[in-house]
Structure 1
């Protein structure tokens, strides 16, 4: 197995770990160290992976960073009542070129996912999501990407890739594997009207910060349908993070970002999760602790996963039929978890790769709306996309 790209967790972090309670998370992790090498991966469910790469940040001025403070904060937390085994595989250091880092990241993610291990990526710039997405080329035909961010990051795809334009590259670069892109927490004044219009034209989903603040549960179905979840720390409001990390007075608060992370963990489909745009500073404790708690909630979510989407067994769900604007909508409700799905009709003449997307996660509210003759927005966008 080729994990040559990985460098071990620093001795500084390991020395700190030795001083922690034997009940702490750090003492229960399988850690990649200089002394013992890469840990045994048999039985591991989640692997923590640092990526020391930020050269494609539009504001890059040559600054280096480490993830030691995040690790210290995470190791010091206590695990929940989990059956989940977690490993810390250390870091992928910056390669000769950014493309080398992308290659190393892509290879490593592909190996881990094939072993049914969920990589949790800690990174510099968010363009690393592009390499994460490309790892799926050999794994599945179509991918759903969810970006928790104040910006869409569509950018100008004609220019070289940057952390504010990687989504444009994902959409336009072959092979075309992107089925759906969703943004959670965007703030209108950070996005040009052209980008907002383009999101609509492509039938992608976007949830404004105000909508998410009002009712965090609306994002659960979006995350339930995601394969990759990528989180930009600039989406967090400035008051919640340390000096260098501050970006905007408005944003998601700590509780909301952790709830989103837990929803991502609970999703049976999410197979990689990334936290990006980390900027260490001298008063770093708050940011590193927030990231540690985001990771903690993701692990907690993975531990609470329930297989409730087996619709072959009629005893496991209830089925509801509604008629909306001449469309018959068929809803499914899991008897196990109470989660809802809606069926997307397929057009026989459309020959595409999307046959697996027959059921779309939705909310109970979507069903109530359909009963009141209102077409659920998620259903409408998915239906339009399948009709293109």
Structure 2
């Protein structure tokens, strides 16, 4: 597949208009300025997006390109530890219609996934994660994903409904349906209709509010670790940390919370694509939101290069803990990595013992089981396994 047909190159002086030190990321990344980068030989690929037809507020004023503003900040950052095989494919040419853009993203992301290159989608409205999601159809297997947003975008789709307010509903009802699990992180209850929270709970999906993340963000790590892809709307962050969206919100995740979630995502062996959406540079005159997004991306890349294969449950690589319970099931099996503070839990379907999964969990899940209580995570996954 010739991906170069879908992208516009970056100008020679983009995205770094000021001199960069030789230790900065700009010296190591291969960017599309003249020759199209070798994306098949890369570990990660950045895709700039400037598609806003799904946004309620429309497109930013002419001359404002969010992905380029983030690039300016990102490539000035220092290269982290280890090797770096990062390509920047330039900016995607939108399709004739919004649906065409979704399909274009589907094909491009699917091609990158097939080459084991992790796509990083940067810019545009949050509904573009529908194209990111559709790429996983080609794998024909159950898919888990995580979304970070101030509210679940579950409006009823229709001609008068902006796509960015209904894209989550569209993901969940898409056919063929390969969704196994969803984790929605960072929602603010005062912005979310109660019936939406009830509907997601009835579907046995995980919800973690902004307050819960602020209290103990470590509890979000297993939810991100279970995801095949992560989609983040900048509106999930409080305005003081990321003034790049409208209307302004004084509450939300901090920049520290957001970078930690991106570190979790980069570090996860299972996660194979990331979307950073919703940045409107016309609301960011000092470039603070661009700097926040650039740092989030830096932590994702750094986390990626700290990945370590976590396989072989039941071998010496893991400590095995068996918890005896009084009912059905009569026991739960947990695994803890000897190298990292990561836990997994074995979930066997009560309806069919042949259906079994080892899923990420937390130390707190193990403590609940040790006290004779079934962890909430086990109950939700049991329902999903049927």
TM bin, normalised by shorter chain, reads over 0.9
Matched, 1:298 2:297: no
Residue of structure 1 in register with 2:83 after alignment = 83
Task: Measure, in 2, the Cα distance between the counterparts of 1:10 and 1:40.
Answer: 18
RMSD: 2.0
1:62 is displaced (CA, Å) by: 7.0
Please report how far the alpha carbon of residue 9 of structure 1 lies from its aligned counterpart in structure 2 after TM superposition.
1.6
Identify the residue that residue 307 of structure 1 maps to in structure 2: 309
Instruction: Describe the shift of the 1:243–1:71 C-alpha distance in structure 2 as closer, same or farther (beyond 3 A).
Output: closer
- Number of the residue aligned with 1:335: 338
Q: Take 1:81 and 1:360, find their aligned partners in 2: how far apart are those partners?
A: 29
Report if aligned partners of 1:265, 1:301 keep a CA contact under 8 Å in 2: yes
**CA–CA distance in structure 2, aligned partners of residues 303 and 15 of structure 1:** 24
Does the 8 Å contact 1:360/1:379 carry over to 2?
A: no
What's the counterpart of residue 374 of structure 2?
375
For 1:86 and 1:195, the matched residues in 2 are separated by 39
Deviation at 1:243, TM superposition (A): 6.2
How far apart, CA to CA, are the structure 1 residues paired with 2:158 and 2:237?
A: 29
Indicate the SS of the match to 1:262.
helix
Q: Distance in 2 between matches of 1:85 and 1:299?
A: 10
In structure 1, C-alpha distance between the alignment counterparts of 2:326 and 2:383, rounded to whole Å: 15
Distance 2:40 2:189 in 1: 45
Unaligned runs of 5+ in 2: none
The residue number in structure 1 matching 2:208 is 207
Instruction: Give the C-alpha shift of residue 332 in structure 1.
Output: 1.0
CA distance in 2: counterparts of 1:62 and 1:240, whole angstroms: 20
2:284 paired with 1:286: no
Name the residue aligned to 1:174: 175
Q: CA deviation at 1:140?
A: 3.7
CA–CA distance in 2 between the matches of 1:182 and 1:214?
17
**Is the contact made by 2:222 and 2:361 (CA closer than 8 Å) also made in structure 1?**
yes
On the 8 A contact 2:152/2:192 being kept in 1, the answer is yes
1:133 deviates by 0.6
Give me the TM-score of the superposition, normalised by structure 2: 0.93
Deviations 1:311-354 (A, max 9, x none): 2x621112111134512211111222231111111245599xxx
For 1:268 and 1:29, the matched residues in 2 are separated by 22
Number of residue pairs matched by the alignment: 379
Judge which range, 193-202 or 88-97, deviates more.
88-97
Q: 1:63 Cα shift?
A: 4.2
Normalised by the size of structure 1, how large is the TM-score? Answer: 0.93
For residues 1-388 of structure 1, the aligned pairs below 5 Å read: 1-3=1-3, 4-13=5-14, 16=17, 19-33=19-33, 35=34, 37-60=35-58, 63-64=61-62, 65-66=64-65, 67-157=67-157, 162-242=163-243, 244=245, 247-281=248-282, 283-311=285-313, 314-324=315-325, 326=327, 327=329, 328-347=331-350, 349=352, 358-387=357-386
Are the aligned partners of 1:238 and 1:245 in contact in 2 as well (CA < 8 Å)? no
**TM-aligned CA distance change 1:220 to 1:61, over 3 Å:** closer
CA deviation string 1:34-82 (max 9, x = no partner): x3x2112353101011111010112326745412211110110011112
> Structure 1: 5+ residue runs without aligned partners?
none
Shift of 1:284: 4.2
Cα displacement string for residues 267-294 of structure 1 (whole angstroms, at most 9, x for unaligned residues)? 1011000000010126141011111000
